[in-house]
Amino acid sequence: MTYSPVVVAKGSIPAGSDANKLFNIMSAPPDRCMNIIAFNFRGGDATEQLSAYICPPDTRDNTTVNNGSGHYVVALGCKGASHDQTYPGCLFANIGFSQPMFIVPPGWKLMVAASATNTLAWYASAVGIVE
């Protein structure tokens, strides 16, 4: 099986979602790791925060975060209402992309969850390199 070496994906948390519910951004191929080199986000309101998680392949949208079940936080506390479509919040590994921010294991998912109930919509995207 062949894969594109660079993957760009996006996802969202629907408006009105409950706190700590996971929503998918991207999945690593079943037999390859994905090195995440950039993560963008926008949305929410000033009292909300977005977190990103690496989750097992069987994790479904709207699942409650449970670190004991293998949901591992990789980005925490991205502040809501501080970024928009023109100027999204962005996390980078470094300018040269020589090291990933974090690695998604084969078949696992990069997912996001908001901190507040009845959240405003959130949008996130990521750039990954298939290893």
For residue 82, is it within any domain? yes
Is residue 48 in some structural domain?
yes
Q: Is residue 3 part of a domain?
A: no
59 falls within a domain: yes
The reply to whether the predicted model has a pTM over 0.75 is yes
Structural domain span for residue 121:
9-130
Q: Which of 48, 58, 64 is nearest to 115 (CA)?
A: 48
Judge whether residue 115 has pLDDT over 50.
Answer: yes
CATH number at residue 56: 2.60.120
Number of domains in the chain: 1
Query: Is residue 8 pLDDT above 60, yes or no?
Result: yes
Residue-wise pLDDT tens digits, 11-63: 999 999 999 999 999 999 999 999 888 888 888 888 888 889 999 999 999 99
80: Cβ contacts below 8 Å, ≥ 6 apart:
43, 44, 45, 46, 47, 48, 49, 50, 114, 120, 122
- Residue 94, pLDDT score: 46
